[in-house]
């Protein structure tokens, strides 16, 4: 996919997939990831001493943590096991062990986390090969000591991107949602990634925060070194490395025009999303973070159709948010949206959105594993404080709650049982709450789509999550760039599932909406509205564009388009049918 567009000394243009719009101009910070959340940063000469100091502090606090655990263990299970921790504390304090790590930080100019990880790996391999059983067992101690050090380092404050002057573009292979969240709040203006997809969660976060991002830039890490100047154009999916002065000037001009276009879109805030023949379409916002509420208001959302509450857990990790913190969050969202409705989704952790500290252990197929409602049923103690907060906050606004990854009616029954328990608890404690909170479920697994009629009979609302529905229906990992071209929202199988859901839910007194990224795709608006989906939830910035599209449609005439799409045998034919019947307006900037 890479193309080198100019022969000028060092300027190189790469093409990827733009997943979040706008222009970012900054200096590259290249991040190599080692899985498990440990990233490798190359340090500048002047950063080394600070890094040594960070490591020294982490060593002290890791020893303190270990001693605390040792005392606790001594009390609970006796001194034998506590002796193991004693050996680990001694290893941690051992001068030559610490010396190897600091030598690595200094010698290779890398961050302390990386030095710890690599040192533990290397020593661990040597221990594992040792003849003596005693030494082989020390290998386990080493792994544990490494974990203590890493978590202490994370407490000592991450390598500070803000120490780098000016705007930063993160260049990495892939980002976890928690990385995206952390970086997005520093002086980062954009992301250029080798892997990732249009609907991966890191993408959703940066889109929500309106930071330009491009994925699918295979090999970009090899073409760059830290602090190289670069431009990314999220709208066109273009990256320019070492831009020439005239190229930079052109991009600056484009950035201004994009801002002007956005400001003009904002003007449509008060215009209703009504078709030519008077059918009102509700356009709601998808939110992940509290700071995104401002954009929901700025772009005229009719409410919040999906609040992905799991990001609150990722934000607070390794702590689990308390009931009070959940309560404050929901009340703030409700009050800033009032009187419009807000749908909070119960945490959808697991799969790729794994806060390691909450859920240790590996799964071979996490996306088919303990995720969404399955996880909260296996660990109701994680969900309970959130549910208590929802029932309490419901007195303060128009709240609905929605469960993710439902596959069967039994899950809903079980969930209601849990809710009844929570409500009974609040009642007996005399805590102010509202028991009749509207309850809904995501339809994001083909199984749920095929029993949508049964779900509709039991629930107040349903919302189609196409990001996962497409992934599971087409067996295409939504995060895997190698199969990105197979991730096709217009695949006839997807359209048939949507049609079936709409038909089966109709007349059941259950509200139906769509909150996957498909809801924001203006190519598909005529199909969705024509099908009868008149409640669409999307990232706030997409609302004006979808609204403009809706205002140009006439529902009475959409029946033919829908029928034509449903008879197509390929995704491409569906796209062409839609493009021919409802050409897309050109985006100018």
**Catalytic annotation, pick one of 159, 201, 433, 491:** 201
Q: Does 292 bind ligand PEP (CB under 6 A)?
A: no
Map residues 468-507 to x or -, x wherever contact with ligand PEP holds by CB under 6 A. Answer: x---------------------------------------
Q: How far apart are CA 284 and CA 542, in angstroms?
A: 10
- Closest to Mg ion by CB, 212 or 350: 350
Binding-site string for ligand PEP from residue 337 to residue 356, where x marks contact by CB under 6 A and - marks none:
-----------x--------
In whole angstroms, the minimum distance from the beta carbon of 373 to Mg ion comes to 11
Cα 418 from Cα 416, distance rounded (Å): 5
Contacted by 466, from ligand PEP, Mg ion, none: CB < 5 to 8 Å by type: ligand PEP
d(CA 221, CA 31): 8
C-alpha distances out from residue 23 to 20, 29, 205, 522, Å: 10, 17, 17, 21
Name 288's Cβ contacts closer than 8 Å, sequence gap at least 6: 204, 205, 208, 307, 308, 311
Told to judge if 120 belongs to the known catalytic residues of this protein, a careful annotator would answer no
Phi, psi of 3 (to 5 degrees): -135, 135
Cis peptide before 280 (omega within 30 of 0): no
**Binder among 179, 198, 411, 444 for Mg ion (CB under 5 A):** 444
Segment near ligand PEP (CB under 6 A); pick from 100-108, 228-236, 459-467, 575-583? 459-467
Q: State the burial class of residue 436 (Cβ atoms within 10 Å of its Cβ: 0-12, 13-18, 19+).
A: exposed
Query: Binding to ligand PEP by residue 466, rule CB under 6 A?
Result: yes
465 forms part of the interface with ligand PEP (CB under 6 A) = yes
Minimum CB separation from ligand PEP for residue 250, in Å?
A: 35
Can you spell out the DSSP letters for 376-437? HHH-HHHHHHHHHHHHHHGGGS-EEEEESS---HHHHHHHHHHHHHHHHHHHHHT----S--
Place of tokens 């209601």: 416
Q: Which is nearer to ligand PEP, 149 or 383 (CB)?
A: 383
Least spacing, CB of residue 468 vs ligand PEP, in Å: 3
The site partner of 309 among ligand PEP, Mg ion, none (C-beta below 5 to 8 Å per kind) is none
Stretch of 142-150, 221-229, 441-449, 537-545 lying at the interface with Mg ion (CB under 5 A): 441-449
Q: Is 162 exposed, middle or buried (0-12, 13-18, 19+ CB in 10 A)?
A: exposed
Q: Does 467 bind ligand PEP (CB under 6 A)?
A: yes
* Contact (Cβ atoms closer than 8 angstroms) between residue 216 and residue 155: no
Number of other CB atoms surrounding residue 408 within 10 Å: 15
Nearer of residues 353 and 582 to ligand PEP, judged by Cβ: 353
CB 32 within 8 A of CB 216: no
178 lines the binding site for ligand PEP (CB under 6 A):
no
Decide if residue 51 touches ligand PEP (CB under 6 A): no
Is there binding between residue 113 and Mg ion (CB under 5 A)?
A: no
Q: What are phi and psi of 17, to 5 degrees?
A: -110, 120
Least distance to ligand PEP, CB of residue 498, Å:
12
Query: How many of the chain's residues bind ligand PEP (CB under 6 A)?
Result: 10
243 vs 321, which CB is nearer to ligand PEP?
321
- Nearer residue to ligand PEP within complex by CB, 516 or 530: 516
For residue 527, the surrounding DSSP H or E stretch is: helix 525-531
Please identify, among the stretches 12-20, 184-192, 463-471, 480-488, the one whose residues bind ligand PEP according to the rule CB under 6 A.
Answer: 463-471
* Burial class of residue 330 in the structure, from the number of CB atoms within 10 Å of its CB (0-12 exposed, 13-18 middle, 19+ buried): buried
Decide whether 289 or 515 has the Cβ nearer to Mg ion. 515
Nearer to Mg ion, 238 or 444 (CB): 444
Q: Which secondary structure element, helix H or strand E, spans residue 11, and what is its range?
A: none
Let me know: does 232 contact 22? Beta carbons within 8 Å. Answer: no
- The reply on whether position 411 binds Mg ion by CB under 5 A is no
Residue 346 and residue 403 in contact, taking contact as beta carbons nearer than 8 Å:
yes
Residue 444 within binding range of ligand PEP, rule CB under 6 A: yes
515 as an active site residue: the answer is yes
Which one among 295, 468, 504, 511 touches Mg ion, defined by CB under 5 A? 468
Cα(206)–Cα(364) distance, rounded to whole angstroms? 28
Nearest distance from C-beta of residue 242 to ligand PEP, angstroms: 36
Contacts (CB under 6 A) with ligand PEP, residues 518-547: none
Residue 369 CB-density burial (10 A; 0-12 exposed, 13-18 middle, 19+ buried) = middle
465 lies in the site for Mg ion, by CB under 5 A: yes
Three-state SS at 4: coil
Can you state the angle between helices 571-581 and 492-505, rounded to 10 degrees? 70
- Minimum Å gap between C-beta 259 and ligand PEP is 28
Task: Name the minimum Å distance from CB 234 to ligand PEP.
Answer: 19
Rounded distance, CA 495 to CA 468, Å?
14
Q: Using the minimum distance from each CB to ligand PEP, give the nearer residue, 251 or 312.
A: 312
Q: Least distance to ligand PEP from the beta carbon of 293, Å?
A: 18
| Binding site partner of 51, from Mg ion, ligand PEP, none, Cβ cut-off 5-8 A by kind | none
Q: Does 309 engage in binding with ligand PEP (CB under 6 A)?
A: no
Q: Which of 120, 419, 510, 515 is catalytic?
A: 515
Backbone angles phi, psi at 19, to 5 degrees: -115, -10
Binding site for ligand PEP (CB under 6 A): 306, 308, 348, 444, 465-468, 515-516
Binding site for Mg ion (CB under 5 A): 444, 465, 468
Q: Which residues are catalytic?
A: 201, 515
């Amino acid at each position: 996919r890479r193309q080198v567009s100019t022969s000028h000394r060092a300027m190189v243009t790469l093409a990827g997939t733009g997943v979040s719009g706008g222009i970012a101009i900054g200096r590259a910070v290249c991040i190599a990831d080692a899985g498990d959340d440990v990233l490798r940063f190359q340090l500048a000469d002047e950063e080394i001493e600070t890094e040594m100091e960070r490591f020294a502090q982490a060593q002290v606090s890791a020893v303190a943590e270990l001693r605390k655990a040792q005392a606790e263990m001594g009390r609970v299970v006796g001194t034998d096991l506590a002796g193991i921790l004693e050996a680990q504390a001694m290893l941690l304090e051992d001068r030559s062990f610490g010396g190897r790590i600091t030598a690595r930080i200094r010698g290779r100019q890398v961050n302390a986390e990386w030095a710890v990880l690599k040192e533990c790996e290397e020593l661990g391999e040597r221990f594992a090969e040792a003849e003596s059983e005693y030494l082989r067992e020390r290998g386990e101690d080493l792994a544990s000591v490494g974990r203590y050090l890493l978590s202490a380092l994370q407490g000592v404050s991450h390598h500070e991107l803000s120490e780098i002057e000016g705007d930063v573009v993160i260049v990495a292979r892939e980002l976890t949602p928690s990385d995206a969240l952390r970086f997005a709040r520093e002086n980062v203006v954009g992301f250029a990634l080798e892997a990732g997809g249009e609907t991966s969660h890191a993408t959703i976060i940066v889109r929500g925060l309106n930071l330009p991002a491009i994925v699918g830039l295979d090999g970009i890490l090899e073409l760059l070194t830290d602090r190289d100047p670069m431009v990314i154009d999220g709208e066109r999916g273009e990256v320019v490395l070492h831009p020439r002065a005239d190229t930079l000037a052109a991009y600056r001009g484009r950035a201004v025009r994009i801002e002007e276009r956005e400001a003009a879109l904002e003007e449509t805030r008060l215009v209703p999303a009504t078709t030519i023949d008077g059918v009102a379409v509700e356009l709601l916002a998808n939110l992940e973070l509290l700071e995104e509420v401002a954009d929901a208001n700025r772009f005229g959302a009719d409410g919040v159709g999906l609040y992905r509450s799991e990001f609150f857990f990722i934000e607070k990790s390794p702590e689990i948010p308390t009931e009070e913190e959940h309560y404050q969050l929901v009340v703030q969202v409700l009050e800033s949206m009032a009187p419009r409705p807000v749908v909070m989704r119960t945490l959808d952790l697991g799969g790729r959105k794994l806060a390691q500290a909450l859920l240790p252990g590996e799964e071979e197929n996490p996306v088919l594993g303990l995720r969404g409602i399955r996880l909260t049923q296996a660990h109701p103690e994680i969900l309970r404080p959130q549910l208590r907060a929802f029932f309490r906050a419901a007195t303060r606004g128009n709240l609905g709650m929605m469960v993710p990854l439902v596959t069967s009616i039994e899950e809903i029954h079980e969930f209601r049982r849990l809710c009844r328990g929570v409500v009974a608890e609040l009642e007996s404690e005399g805590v102010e709450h509202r028991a009749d909170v509207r309850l809904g479920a995501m339809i994001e697994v083909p199984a749920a789509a095929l029993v949508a009629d049964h779900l509709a009979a039991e629930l107040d609302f349903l919302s189609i999550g196409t990001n996962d529905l497409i992934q599971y229906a087409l067996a295409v990992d939504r995060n895997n760039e190698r199969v990105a071209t197979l991730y096709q929202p217009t695949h006839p199988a997807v359209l048939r599932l949507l049609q079936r859901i709409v038909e089966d839910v109709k007349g059941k007194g259950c509200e139906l909406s769509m909150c996957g990224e498909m809801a924001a795709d203006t190519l598909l608006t005529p199909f969705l509205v024509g099908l009868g989906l008149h409640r669409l939830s999307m990232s706030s910035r997409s609302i004006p564009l979808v609204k403009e599209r809706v205002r140009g449609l006439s529902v009475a005439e959409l029946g033919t388009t829908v029928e034509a799409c449903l008879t197509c045998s390929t995704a491409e034919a569906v796209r062409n049918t839609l493009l021919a019947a409802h050409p897309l307006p050109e985006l100018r900037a």
